[in-house]
Amino acid sequence: MASKRPAPFSVRMTAEVRARLECLAGDMALGAYLIACGLNAEIAKRVRGVPKKSVAQMLAQILALLGGVATVLRGLAKGARDGTLDFSPETETAIRNACKDITVMKALLMRALNLKEH
């Protein structure tokens, strides 16, 4: 005789209680939160992930930016090392653009990893 799955367990609650529990659960499924609380388990809040396709696109953007920034910084470092770095408006623009690209890369990485800046 095959064993049957246990019947679902349902709990009646007011809309206010449910809203409060959903708020406490955060991104966790309400059922998972209730089970974790009931078992006095460590609650690791689950974060909704970023779709894989989006993550791949963000990583591709980061790689493209990284290639450009690496080239610019390598040239600036070589000039500084050789004593031939001319701090012209073009050099200043290159440094500012590299800083902007690094900021964009950080934002993309934070988004891909589903992290929030504090």
Which pLDDT does position 1 carry in this prediction? 56
Helix (H) and strand (E) counts in the chain: 4, 0
Question: Which pairs with CB-CB distance under 8 Å and at least 24 residues apart come from 73-80?
Answer: 73/98
What pTM does this model have? Answer: 0.51
Per-residue pLDDT of the chain (118 residues; tens, 9 = 90+): 567 888 888 889 898 888 888 887 777 788 887 888 887 765 554 445 556 667 778 888 888 888 888 888 999 999 999 999 888 999 999 999 999 989 888 888 888 777 777 6
Distance from C-alpha of 109 to C-alpha of 60, rounded to nearest angstrom = 11
pLDDT of residue 47: 46
Q: Residue 50: its pLDDT value, please?
A: 58
Exposed, middle or buried: residue 35 (CB in 10 Å: 0-12, 13-18, 19+)?
A: middle
**Nearest by Cα to 97 from 71, 79, 117, 77:** 71
- CA 88, chain centre distance (Å): 37
Q: What is the pLDDT of residue 42?
A: 59
Q: Look at residue 39 in the predicted model and tell me its pLDDT.
A: 77
C-beta of residue 45 within 8 angstroms of C-beta of residue 27: yes
pLDDT of residue 46: 47
Which regions of 1-118 does DSSP assign to beta strands (E)? Answer: none
Residue-range domain boundaries for the chain:
11-48, 52-112
